[in-house]
Amino acid sequence: MSGPGGAGLYIVVNPSSGLSWSADSPDAGEYLRTALPKADVTVARQGQDLAELLEEAARRAKEHGGALGACGGDGTINAATEIAARLGVPLAVFPGGTFNHFAVDLGNQSMEDVVGAVQAGEAVVADLGRARVPGGPEQVFLNTFSLGVYSELVGAREKLEERIGKWPALVVGLAGVLAKGSPVHVSVNGRPKRLWLLFAGNGIYHPAGFAPTYRTQLDDGLLDVRAVDAGTPLARTRLLLAVLTGTLHNSRVLTTAQVRALRLEVLHGDPQFSYDGEVTRVASGRLVLDKVTRAVTLYRPAEKDQWLR
């Protein structure tokens, strides 16, 4: 673990994440060197391999009995968490990027919060979501896995919500992606389905329904699965009406479950998968979603009570 002043803490800062500091404020690297003068702070330069920097920092932390720190957006934190969990070193998540969902759910809503937790040695444990190709590679996810139009919907909503508000942006974005998109044909735990989307959260998300946004616990061992069925009659129209009227939780088109594992297989086409917002494809078309429970230790201020239960 890290000591006073950040001793034993090896931090990697990714400035390409669009860190949300104002023009007249110090940059993240300068702030962290001042706030944690005994920490080793590396700011990634253009062209450097971020994963290699994080791996090297984590190995040095393990060698010296310290901890890894990472500052950046969700992609940076995803990479850092996978490495920290694999090498068995604690992780300090410094919020960066335009918005860092994992840091917010963790309770680290400012740099000062994390610095305070590091100084005080306050930490918790968290699960990791995992998408595995049977007999092949795997990908961890901190926040969400999805297939179908979910990632397009999130992107469309985020483009509109500052101008028209979150709920109208959701409706307008949904209408747009349904008009242009197509259902995906997949097998879910051996059952063939036609789905507009499937969402799997690393932990139970709130609120219930179609637009989950936050978690109150990150070590519950569960995947929060929500799927929108395209196989019911007039599924597209039913979905839009249910969202407009706030009745989606009672609609036939929405299926929800809280599970420890889920088997998926693409039956037709080449759908996109998204892990924490990063879009990819799986050559085999088969995936197992599950959890690595209590996989990583994370610094978090003790006064953040959202994990207390």
- Give residue limits of the domains in the chain: 4-121, 138-293
Percent of the chain surpassing pLDDT 90? 38
Q: What's this model's pTM, rounded to 2 decimal places? A: 0.82
pLDDT at 304: 56
**Domain made up of 4-121: CATH architecture:** 3-Layer(aba) Sandwich (3.40)
Beta-carbon contacts of residue 243 (< 8 Å; ≥ 6 apart): 170, 171, 174, 210
Fold of 138-293: Tumour Suppressor Smad4 (2.60.200)
Classify 141 as helix, strand or coil.
strand
pLDDT at 238: 77
Residue environment code for 115-135, b if the CB has 16+ CB neighbours within 10 A, otherwise e = bbbbbeeebbebbbbbbbeee
Q: What is the pLDDT of residues 2-44, one digit of tens each?
A: 667 889 999 999 886 554 443 334 588 889 999 999 999 999 8
| Cα distance between residue 175 and residue 195, in whole Å | 16
Low-confidence ranges of the chain (pLDDT < 50): 19-25, 305-309
